């Protein structure tokens, strides 16, 4: 049992280091999905779900909270933050995902645009990380990425440019 706890602590510390966090949660989950202060001035929280508790940090946690946390369309996390391609991070939720990189910041992906992006390699594909959240346009929505744009219009019609 002691080795299991030590291994879990190492995995958590490694994930936090990859996310640019040097701290660990300083409080148990508060049940709201809202952040708790963490050691070393970073934000981190454990969010309880029916599948277990998942940890979110820094910019991904801030983005999640800014749209309403578990009360938003993202709903609850389905996993703790994970490393993405290059130096990025991501976390998946019942209603989508949040992807972050140091050069692009944290952005939400979901629905038709999110699915198209994933089918085209996601952050490791031709488009790279998102540089904006999905934005409404006449007749649909659009999202910008490091190397292009996905446009989703009524019909549905999807264009990658």
Residue 51 pLDDT > 80: yes
CB 104 within 8 A of CB 115: no
Give the confidence band of 20 by pLDDT, cuts at 50, 70, 90. Answer: very low
Q: How far is CA 154 from the centre of its chain?
A: 27
Which residues are CB-contacts of 88 (< 8 A; sequence separation ≥ 6)?
Answer: 99, 100, 101, 102, 104, 123, 129
Question: What is the domain partition of the chain in residue ranges?
Answer: 1-93, 110-161
pLDDT at residue number 42:
60
Q: What is the predicted pLDDT for the residue at 22? A: 37
| pLDDT at res. 102 | 97
**d(C-alpha 75, C-alpha 110), whole Å:** 12
- Overall pTM surpassing 0.85 (yes/no): no
Taking the alpha carbons at both ends of the chain, their separation in whole angstroms is 52
145 sits in which H/E element: strand 140-145
Percent of the chain with pLDDT over 90: 63
Confidence tier at 44 by pLDDT (50, 70, 90): confident
Q: Write out pLDDT tens, residues 124-161.
A: 999 999 999 999 999 999 999 999 999 999 877 889 99
Mean pLDDT of the chain: 81
Please tell me whether the peptide bond between 156 and the residue prior to it is cis, using omega within 30 degrees of 0.
yes
Positive or negative, the Cα torsion across 113, 115, 121, 123? positive
């Amino acid at each position: 049992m002691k080795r299991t706890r030590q291994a879990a602590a190492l995995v958590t510390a490694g994930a936090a280091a990859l996310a640019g966090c040097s701290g660990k949660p300083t409080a148990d989950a508060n049940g709201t999905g809202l952040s708790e202060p963490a050691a070393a001035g970073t934000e981190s929280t454990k969010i309880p779900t029916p599948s277990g508790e998942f940890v979110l940090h820094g910019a991904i946690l801030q983005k999640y909270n800014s749209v309403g946390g578990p009360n938003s369309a993202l709903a609850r996390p389905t996993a703790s933050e994970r490393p993405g391609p290059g130096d990025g991070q991501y976390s998946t939720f019942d209603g989508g995902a949040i992807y972050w990189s140091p050069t692009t910041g944290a952005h939400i992906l979901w629905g038709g645009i999110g699915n198209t992006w994933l089918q085209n390699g996601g952050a490791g594909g031709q488009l790279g990380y998102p540089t904006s959240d999905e934005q409404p346009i006449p007749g649909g929505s659009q999202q910008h990425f490091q190397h292009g744009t996905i446009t989703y219009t009524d019909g549905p019609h999807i264009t990658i440019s």
